[in-house]
Amino acid sequence: MEKLDWCKFSTEDTLKKLSATTEGLSSKEAASRIEEYGHNEIKFKKKSTLIRFLEQFNNPLLIVLIIAAIACFFLWAFMGEEHVLLDMWVILGVVLATAIIGFIQEGKAEEAIEALKDMIVDKCTVIRDGESKEIPTRELVPGDIVVLESGNKVPADLRIIASKNMYLDESMLTGESIPVAKGSEDDQNDKNDGEKYCMIYGGTFVTSGRGNGVIVSTGEDTEIGKIANLMQSSVQTSPPILKKISEFVKLMVASIIGVSILMFILGVLEGYDIVYMFLAMIGMMVAMMPEGLPGAVIAAFATGSTAMAKRNAIVRNLPSAETLGSVTVICSDKTGTLTKNEMTVTNIFSGNKIYNVDGVGYEPVGQIHEKGSNSKTNLTQELVQTLRAGFLCNNSDIEKEKGRYVAKGSNTEAALIVSAKKAGVDEKLLKIDEIPFESKQQYMATLHEDGEDNLIYVKGSPERVLKSCKEMLVDGKKVTLDTEIVMKNVEDMAKDALRVLAMAYKRVPKEKMSLEEGDISDLIFVGIQGMIDPPRKEAIEAIKKCKTAGIRPIMITGDHALTAKAVARQLKIGDGEDKTLTGQEMSEITDEELYDLVEKISVYARVKPEHKFRITKQLQKRGHVVAMTGDGVNDAPALKAADIGVAMGMTGTEVSKEASDIILTDDNFSTIIAAVEEGRRVYDNIWKVILYLLPTNGGQGLALATALFLSPFVPIFRERLPIEPVQILWVNLIIAIACSIPLIWEPGEKGLLERPPRDPKEKLFNRFFIKRVGVVSIITVISIYSMYMLFLGSVGNSIEYLSQAQTIAFTTIIMVQVGYLFTARSFEDSAFSFNPFRNKWVIIGASVTLLLQVLLVYSETIFGASPFRTEPFPSIWWIPMILIATTCFFVIEIEKFISRSVKNK
C-alpha cells in the first residue's frame, strides 16, 4: 500500500483514494482486497528451539570448559585417574547450566516480539454491504469502515471520518499515560505538528466517546507491524566484556593448543615415550585452561544483578550488569525519567502582575509570591479568581497514595488544583453543567452555584479565551482588556516552554441552569497560569555525575522542540549546543548525514520510533556503547538494538519490558547512573578475577614446560613431573571456586564515576595484563622449583621422596595463590590502605582453601588413602612455604607502589 500522510487529506479525499464509501465495502470487494493486501496479521520469523539451544555452545568460554572436560576424560581413560571423572561431570554441568541460561535469555528477547501479538484484538465491528457486522480482525482490509466506541481496542491503523468526544489511550504505543483527544478534523497544513489528530493506530484503546474510521493500513504496514519488522531485523549486540573475553579466549585456546602440541613434538624428538608425552600434553592443556573463568564471570554477573536490584534496577539479561558500566552514551526519554511527569504551575500572570509559585509536583505545599519578592503575596481578587477558575473548571483531583500525591485524571488539571490549594483557594461550589474540552473549541467551561448568582468559569488556550473577553480584572476593578500585554506574557511563558492556560469568568442569573456555546461571551479575563513538567532534582545531580563519568547524556523526546530545549537547559544537557534536531528534520536526511550530526546534537524532539532506532545505530557506528531508555511499544526496536535497553517499570508497556535488558522500578534517570556505577564495579571485579586466575594457569603451564625442557639436564624430571595433572585440575577448580569467586564481592574502587568509560576497542591482553600476569606467573614458577629442588636437595635427591616433593610443589602453588589473593583485591591501592575484613568472603575463601589443602596433604594419614597422589611431608616445610607466599604478596605490593609513584609524577 502506498505510504501517505492521511491527515493531509480531507475525509472525502481519503475515502476516494481508498476507493471506499461511508457505507463500507462489499463482501466481494473485501475478499478481492485480501488477495491484494493479505490478511491483517503480523508474521514472525522464529528459529527452532533446538537450533537456538545448540547456538549457545558457540561460545569460547564454553569451548574452554569442553576442552577441559575432554582432557579430564583422557586422564581417566589413559591414566586411570578415577577422581577426575567427578571433575569432568562438574565441568560439563557448568557448560550445560550456562547454555540453558543463555537459551532462556534469548527466549526472553523473542518474547518481546511475541508480546506484540497480544496488542491485536480478535474481532471488531465493521460496515460491510451497508450494514454493521462483527468480523475476525485478520479479515480487515484497507477501505473497511470500522465502528469504535468506549472500551474498544483499535484493530488496525485508521483515519477517523466521524467522531464524538473521542479519547484514546495510546500509552501502549507512546508510553504517555494521558488519554489523547481524537477527531475527524482535517489538518491539511499539519497544524498539530505531527500529532496526527485524525489518525488512530492498531493496539490503542478507546477510553471514551465513539467514532468511525476507515482502515488505511493492515498487517505489517501498521505502526505495530513496522515495529515488529524493526525488532526482527535488529541484531542483538554482544556485551563488551563478552566480546573481549571471547577474543582473549580464542587467542588463549589457540596458544595453549599450539604450545601443548609443540611440547609433545619436542618431547618425542628428545626420545620420550609417545604415550607419556601425549599425557604430558593433556596435562599441559589442563594446567593452562582457566576452567573456573566461565563460572566466575557468570557469578559476577549474578551478584551485580542482585546489587542493582537493591538500587531499583532489575537486570533481565545477566551480562547487562557489566555492560551498563561500559556505556559512553545514555539516550533518555524526557517525561517521567528526566522529569517528574507531574505538571507544575510555576508562573501566574494576573492583574498586570507576575507571580512565581514554589513547590514541585502534586504535593500542595509551597507559596505564591510576586516576582522579585520572597515573601508570600497578598491574594488580590483577580488572583483568587484565576486560581478558582483553575480549581473549579476541572474534572480531576489529587490523592495521597503510599505516601505521595498522585493525579487522578488530567496532569494539567491536577497542576491547577495544586496551585489553588497552595494559596488556600479550594472551596468547592456545586457544579450545575459543563462544556467539556474539545480540540475544536480549545476551551472548557463550567457553571456553578454561588449564592444569589451562578458563575461561569472558563479555561483554555489564551487566544480562544481572550476572543470571548471584553474586560479584565485589575486591582479588583473591571478595566478594558489589554490583549497586547496579556499576549506578551503568554509569549514570555511560552519561550520558557511553559504550557499556558487562560482563565475567565462571568456571573449569570440564578435561573441559568445549563451551558451553551453562546454563553461563552462577554467574559472577564482574570489571568493566565503557566506550567511545565519540571526536571527531577535527582536527575539534575545524576546528569552532573554522568558528565564526570565521561558519559554523554542525550535527551530524546516526543515533546515539542521548545519544551525539550527548556528542560535540557535546566538539566544542562547539550551545553553549548544551539541545535535541536526534530523528527521531521531527521526524516529529511540520510543515515550518512545523521552519522555526522549525532556527535554534535544532544537534544532530539518530536521523534518517532524509527528515529530512535536510527540514532542508536549511528551512535553505535561511531563506536559508542549505547544505553537507550523507553516505555512504549514504539521504543521496543531501539531498546533491542541498543547495547543496553532500559525499560520503565512503572509506566512501561510489557513489550518494552520484554525488549529491554534492564528495568527501572522507579522510572528514574538517577537509577541508571547508580546502575552504571554498579556495572563498573562488576567489570572491575571480573577483571580482578581474570588477573587472579590466569597467573595460576600460566605458572603451572610454565612449570610443566620448564620440566620438559630441563629433563635432558635434570634426570629426575624424566621420572616424574613436578606436579601431577590431577593436582593441577584440583588447583584450577579450588582456586576458581574458593579464592577467585570471593573477589566478585569486592567493594568498588575509589572514584568509579570519576573516570572515563573504558575504550570499547581496548583488549584484555594489554600492557597491564601482561605485566601483572607475567610477574605472578614467574613468581609461581620460581616458588614451585625453589621448594621442589630445596626439598629434594635436603633428602639427597632421592627418587623415593619424589611424591613428597610433588606434594610440596603442589602445596606451594596453593600458598602462592592465597598470598596473591590479598593483594589482588585492588588494582593499584595497597592492601594496607583498606580494611582487610571489608569482604568477608575473601577471608572465608582463603581459610577454606588452606583447610582443604591441609586435609589433602595429610589425607593418607587421616583417611588411609590419597585421592590426589599426595604424601605427607615434614611439618617444618610449612614455614618456607608461608614465607614464599608472603614474598609473592610483597612483590606485587612493591610493583603497585612503583606504578602509583610513576602515575603521580
Q: CB neighbours of 294 closer than 8 A, spacing ≥ 6? A: 61, 62, 64, 65, 94, 98
Q: Note if 333 is an active site residue.
A: yes
- pLDDT for residue 432 is more than 80: yes
Torsions phi, psi for 347 (to 5 deg): -135, 145
The packing angle between helices 767-794 and 878-904, to 10°, is 160
Say what percent of the chain tops pLDDT 90.
Answer: 41
Residue 236 has what pLDDT? 61
- pLDDT (average), residues 697-716: 80
Contact at 8 Å (CB) between 655 and 115?
yes
- The b/e string for 617-636 (b: 16+ C-beta within 10 A; e otherwise) is bbbbeeebbbbbbbbbbbbb
Lowest mean pLDDT among 87-91, 379-383, 550-554, 734-738: 87-91
- pLDDT (average), residues 346-368: 94
d(CA 461, CA 466): 8
- pLDDT for residue 237 is more than 70: no
- pLDDT for residue 71 is more than 70: yes
Total-model pTM: 0.76
Residue 175 has what pLDDT? 55
Given the residues 221, 333, 519, 667, the one annotated as active site: 333
The residue that leads in pLDDT, 498 or 292, is 498
pLDDT tens-digit readout, 613-636: 899 999 999 999 999 988 877 788
- pLDDT for residue 438 is more than 90: no
pLDDT tens-digit readout, 544-581: 999 999 999 999 987 788 888 888 988 999 887 878 99
The packing angle between helices 240-269 and 60-79, to 10°, is 30
Contact at 8 Å (CB) between 305 and 661?
no
d(CA 642, CA 634): 14
Torsions phi, psi for 342 (to 5 deg): -135, 100
**What does pLDDT average to over the chain?**
85
3-state helix, strand, coil in the chain (%, to 5): 50, 15, 30
pLDDT tens-digit readout, 889-899: 999 999 999 98
Residue 840 has what pLDDT? 94
* Region of residue 578 (phi > 0: left; psi between -120 and 50: alpha; otherwise: beta): alpha
Strand-strand pairing, 205-217 and 157-169 = antiparallel
Q: CB neighbours of 79 closer than 8 A, spacing ≥ 6? A: 279, 725
Residue 277 has what pLDDT? 75
pLDDT category at 668 given cuts 50, 70, 90 is confident
- pLDDT (average), residues 597-610: 88
pLDDT tens-digit readout, 793-802: 888 777 678 8
